[in-house]
Structure 1
Amino acid sequence: MEITIKKLTAELSADYFDFFDNRAFTDDSPYRCYCQMYQLSKDQGEKLMEDTRDINPGLLCKNIANQQIETGALCGYLAYVDGISVGWCNANDRASFPSEPYYDVLFYSPIPKREIAVVCFEIVPEYRGKGIATALLNKVICDAKTNKYASVVGFPVKRSERYEWDCTGPIRLYEKAGFHKISEHGETIIMKKELM
């Protein structure tokens, strides 16, 4: 199986939405989204929750993700097999995340061009365990090196057994790629791979 990884651009937004609308959550994942929440500040997230009373929340989330792709706020990589998008990784400069996030993990770090945060993976169910997440993570690392970043940081959740909807990626994924634990935040393990 040949895996192709492409950095998300506005030109690839149709592939992105095709992936999330048609393949990403076909196993009834309880976490359906468009990966837009990580880029929202606490104020933006709270306003979003207020605004969903009268409209379709899924459509609202999709519209927010579309705006984030167009402005470059939502960054990451799509994985393709046979020309079809089968995986996604949300990865961005840590300085690009909100300093007061809506989400409960602080991905933000104030120094731009220093660290890339890997915050989410979503893999089509039938492609899980086939190296898609590894290929995505390796591409993040490769591009971070090329762009002179000092490190890549991941945020896996501590689990006692395999969890099918492990959107942060399992600890062993990061360990295989050379990451080491630097701290804990509740159940989240902060892992880092130094590049310099």
Structure 2
Amino acid sequence: MTDEHVSVVPANEASWEDIAAVFGTADYPGRCQCQRFKVAGWIWRDSTQEERTASLRAQTACGNPGAATTSGLVAYVDGEPVGWVAVEPRTAYPKLRGSRVPWTGRAEDKDDDGVWAVTCFAVRKGYRGRGLTYPLARATIGFARERGARALEAYPMITEPGKEITWGELHVGARQVFADAGFAEVAHPTPRRVVMRIELSPVD
């Protein structure tokens, strides 16, 4: 799926119905509602489905094109909502603070609002396996830069030919997706996870 087939908009410019169509209700995205790095405690034990859904709706500010902030981007193919990517300041994800993945081997200020993070992809059932995460990852760069980010990070998985990874595991994205977008590997904190980063020049 190339960029010419896909349009990507900030989530506040999408309707709630479109966002809900991307996430669905049955599998991992539908259950999580992109709250894994947001909620306090352990996601399934300490929050309800209704709470997570309400949180996503509030965080996206969907249906409000004039909103000052939003929590991600929505992809469309031929007018159909098909994909999501979460991208915000790194400080917007409380669960990242306690995770060793972003910080291992790096002297990073956890309170630096100038560093943004891409934490989650969701692709609608029926559209998976078509490479939609590639244009979504590329779109995060301009989105973050225009909102003042100095750098953008991601924490994807390493995929290997012939080795299956479940969609639930791969919600953070694949290393190749970010490499294709111009991110560079800056840390390898676990055998299957890397930190990818791109420095962003200010908007003229």
TM-score (norm 2): 0.73
* Identity fraction in percent: 23
| Matched-pair contact (CA < 8 Å) for 1:152–1:193 | yes
Aligned length in residues: 183
What is the CA-CA distance between 1:100 and the residue it aligns to?
Answer: 6.6
| Cα pair distance change 1:99/1:173, threshold 3 Å | closer
What are the within-5 Å matches in structure 2 for residues 52-91 of structure 1? 57-70=48-61, 75-91=71-87
| Matched-pair contact (CA < 8 Å) for 1:46–1:102 | no
1:98 aligns with 2:105: no
Which residue, 5, 10, 13 being the options, matches 2:16? 13
Which residue in the other structure is 1:154 paired with? 154
| Matched-pair contact (CA < 8 Å) for 1:181–1:189 | yes
Q: Distance in 2 between matches of 1:128 and 1:46?
A: 27
Q: Deviations over 1:107-137 (max 9, x none)?
A: 983112x222000111124323434211111
| Matched-pair contact (CA < 8 Å) for 2:59–2:70 | yes
What is the CA-CA distance between 1:167 and the residue it aligns to?
Answer: 0.9
Letter in 2 for 1:6: V
Q: Distance in 1 between matches of 2:131 and 2:155?
A: 19
Tell me the C-alpha RMSD between the 2 structures.
3.2
Q: Distance in 1 between matches of 2:199 and 2:79?
A: 33
| Matched-pair contact (CA < 8 Å) for 1:39–1:101 | no
TM-score (norm 1): 0.76
Which residue in the other structure is 1:110 paired with? 111
Find the residue that maps to 2:116 and give its secondary structure: strand
Which residue in the other structure is 1:126 paired with? 126
Moved over 6 A (4+): 71-74
Q: Distance in 2 between matches of 1:46 and 1:193?
A: 30
- Which segment drifts farther, 82-91 or 180-189? 180-189
Give 5+ residue unaligned stretches, structure 2.
62-66, 104-108
What is the CA-CA distance between 1:170 and the residue it aligns to?
Answer: 0.8
Q: Distance in 2 between matches of 1:157 and 1:173?
A: 10
